[in-house]
Amino acid sequence: MTSSEIASLTVAKVRQGLAAREFSAAELAQEALRFAQAENPKTNAYLHFCPERALAAARRVDEKLARGEDAGVLAGVPVAVKDVILTEGVRTTCGSKLLAYYVAPYDATAVIGVEAAGGVILGKTNCDEFAMGSSTENSAFGPVRNPVAPDRVPGGSSGGSGAATAQGTAVVALGSDTGGSIRQPASFCGVVGVTPTYGRVSRYGLTAFASSLDHIGPFARNVHDAALLLQAIAGRDEGDATSAFAPVPDYTAALDGQVRGLKIGLPREYFQGLASETGDLISKGVETLKKLGCEVREISLPHTEYAIGCYYIICTAEASSNLARYDGVRYTSRSTRSETLSDMYRNTRGEGFGAECKRRIMLGTYVLSAGYYDAYYLKAQKVRTLIARDFSTAFEAVDAIVTPVSPFPAFKLGEKLDDPLEMYLSDIYTITGDLAGIPCMSVPCGRTAAGLPVGMQMLANHFNEAGMFRLAGAFEAAGGFEG
């Protein structure tokens, strides 16, 4: 296989190749690993590879195929996994110096799902430290470069998964999303990124950041592959008490192109002041949806302007609690210059965490501290109710909502690093979906004059991933991805 053939593989092409015996799963795994390792210096998308695990998974697929058994919907497909998701026997660093040598003692349920479906995990992808950031510049192991424009960020926090998918060093990838960490890098890198309904995918084995907001979800280069990856990881899991009981439908069955008469809402709060190339491309995308027979109307999500404040109170509060466990006792790193237990905690954390994690731990501790809990955390939880209500009201009138993913395309490395508030404000369009817990995704929607990808966000009501994929699939088939 040539490099460009590997880089443009899809799940369907892997299936055909295996069926026609053009390659075995083991041969493909070796080729894909070689290609990914050779390409990686261009982007730093992968932090480490797991060739032994990949080849073992590929051989299992080959054995099943040799016996004439079903090897799964992802049989032989090269997969990348964000390094906040545990992989037994393989390093799982969370992009943090603190966990540089941490080897996960068990597999995340989503990882088990990928391999049970025949997926071949090649390695672990770079990300902002503990998934906190919007650019992947907060990784302790160096930033990721956007494969589309190497002087720019890939987005974050799942920047490595977005970049690997765009670069073709994985066919699909797992990311995690707390406030947009799948959709925003998907948008910046020009691929599909899906944040499922809260609870749709088990978080067992996902390193906790903000537990009431954390999701695992797929990256892919087309809607079909994203739907298949979600199929492999969705469902109730006893390991995660918040995982949902709702039955998992056949997602690819929804890709029938039937979107005529579908009611789409454009929230006016998301389009105000969007006089930019991004706005123009989204408007063009909306025209495509109209041509497909969708009924487009303006709607209002009146509490949108409170979302950033609400989100950053809740996520930092939960993060400050979740990150308390990294204290030098159990997780590999310990400050060597401490005489007392208390010093050991403080020094380990002071030496180990990067600037953004420290900032969020401090913010979260502040808003939860005595005398402030009601004014900040409780207030934010009430505002969250209002934001979620905005969506449930909207979904009484429309089937789906369409917005931009980010106010701007990929920015330059270093451009926003010194201004935390500005970086937080850039999450405005993605955090509301996480706060409401609804499924949302980014689909490519053309490129700017400078060639930078722009993503369109599609949001649906709780557990209506199938309807969301139907819309995204029709948009893709109509050439919407190309703009």
Partner 1 sequence: MRLTEQEVRYVAALANLNLSDQEVAKMCEDLGEVLTHMEKLNELDTAGVEPMAQVLYDAAETATLGEDIDRPGIGPEAALANAPLAGAGFFKVPKVIERS
Residues involved in catalysis: 82, 157, 181
Q: Which helix (H) or strand (E) holds 80?
A: strand 78-82
Under the criterion CB under 8 A, does residue 453 sit at the interface with partner 1?
no
- Residue 287 makes CB contacts below 8 A (sequence gap 6+) with none
**Stretch in the footprint of partner 1 (CB under 8 A) among 18-26, 58-66, 173-181, 330-338:** 330-338
Say whether residue 247 binds partner 1 (CB under 8 A). Answer: no
Q: What region does 121 belong to: left with phi over 0, alpha with psi -120 to 50, or beta?
A: beta
102 binding partner 1? (CB under 8 A): yes
Min separation Cβ 388 and partner 1, Å = 6
Interface residue with partner 1 among 188, 251, 312, 481 (CB under 8 A) is 312
* Contact status: 61 vs partner 1 (CB under 8 A): no
Alpha-carbon radius of gyration of the chain: 21
What's the farthest any 2 CA atoms get from each other in the chain?
70
37 vs 347 by CB, closer to partner 1: 347
Four-residue CA torsion sign, 76, 82, 83, 88: negative
Stretch that binds partner 1, among 139-147, 169-177, 381-389, 445-453 (CB under 8 A): 381-389
User: At 290, is the secondary structure helix, strand, or coil?
Assistant: helix
> Is the CB of residue 123 less than 8 Å from the CB of residue 80?
yes
Kindly tell me which of 4 and 340 has the beta carbon lying closer to partner 1.
Answer: 340
Please, are residues 159 and 136 in contact by the beta-carbon 8 Å criterion?
yes
The yes or no reply on residue 100 touching partner 1 (CB under 8 A) is: no
Tell the smallest beta-carbon distance from residue 363 to partner 1 (Å): 6
Rule CB under 8 A: say whether 300 interacts with partner 1. Answer: no
Q: Which is nearer to partner 1, 164 or 317 (CB)?
A: 317
Query: Rounded to an integer, what distance in angstroms lies between the CA atom of residue 388 and that of residue 180?
Result: 16
Q: How many helices (H) and strands (E) does the chain have?
A: 17, 11
30 is an interface residue for partner 1 by CB under 8 A: no
**Please, what's the b/e burial string for 152-184 (b: 16 or more CB within 10 A of its CB; e: otherwise)?**
bbbbbbbbbbbbbbbbbbbbbbbbbbbbbbbbb
Give me the residues paired with residue 404 across strands.
456
Q: Does 275 bind partner 1 (CB under 8 A)?
A: no
Member of 21, 67, 238, 247 binding partner 1 (CB under 8 A) = 238
Q: Does residue 378 bind partner 1 (CB under 8 A)?
A: yes
Distance between start and end Cα atoms, the chain: 30
Of the candidate spans 121-129, 290-298, 343-351, 472-480, the one that interacts with partner 1 by CB under 8 A turns out to be 343-351
Q: How far is the CB of 382 from partner 1 (least distance, A)?
A: 4
Q: Using CB under 8 A, pick the residue from 43, 320, 426, 432 that binds partner 1.
A: 320
Is beta strand 263-267 parallel, antiparallel or unpaired with respect to 295-299? parallel
Is residue 13 part of the contact set for partner 1 (CB under 8 A)? no
Question: Is residue 41 within 8 Å of residue 126, measured between CB atoms?
Answer: no
Cβ neighbors of 275 (< 8 A, separation 6 or more) are none
Interface with partner 1, residue 246, by CB under 8 A: yes
Beta strands in 249-332 (DSSP E): 263-267, 295-299
Give the pair of three-digit tokens for residue 95.
Answer: 């992009």
Closer by beta carbon to partner 1, 76 or else 354:
354
Q: Which is closer to partner 1, CB of 118 or CB of 439?
A: 439
Shortest Cβ 209–partner 1 spacing (Å): 15
Asked if 427 and 440 touch (Cβ cutoff 8 Å), the reply is no
Residue choice 34, 268, 325, 382 for contact with partner 1 (CB under 8 A): 382
If 0-12 CB within 10 Å is exposed, 13-18 middle and 19+ buried, where does residue 37 land?
Answer: middle
241 lies in the binding site for partner 1 (CB under 8 A): yes
Decide: is 332 part of the binding site for partner 1 (CB under 8 A).
Answer: yes
H-assigned helices in 174-247: 183-189, 223-233
Count of residues that interact with partner 1, criterion CB under 8 A: 72
Q: What angle do CA 398, 433, 108 make, to 5 degrees?
A: 125
Q: Does 303 bind partner 1 (CB under 8 A)?
A: yes
**What's at 12, amino acid-wise?**
A
The piece of 14-22, 169-177, 239-247, 444-452 that touches partner 1 (CB under 8 A) is 239-247
Read off the amino acid at residue 92.
T
Binders of partner 1 in range 206-235 (CB under 8 A): 212
Residues 116-155 that bind partner 1 (CB under 8 A): none
Question: Under DSSP, is residue 333 helix (H, G, I), strand (E, B) or coil?
Answer: coil
Which positions from 389 through 448 interact with partner 1, judged by CB under 8 A? 420-421, 424, 436-437
Among 1, 56, 100, 103, the residue binding partner 1 under the rule CB under 8 A is: 103
Binding partner 1 by CB under 8 A: which of 338, 447, 448, 483? 338
Q: Which is nearer to partner 1, 65 or 244 (CB)?
A: 244
> Which x/- pattern over 462-481 shows residues binding partner 1 (rule: CB under 8 A)?
x-------------------
Touching partner 1, residues 181-200 (CB under 8 A): 198-199
**In the 3-class helix/strand/coil scheme, how is 452-477 assigned residue by residue?**
CEEEEEEEECCCCHHHHHHHHHHHHH
Give the sign of the dihedral formed by CA 239, CA 245, CA 250, CA 252: negative
Q: How far is the CB of 436 from partner 1 (least distance, A)?
A: 8
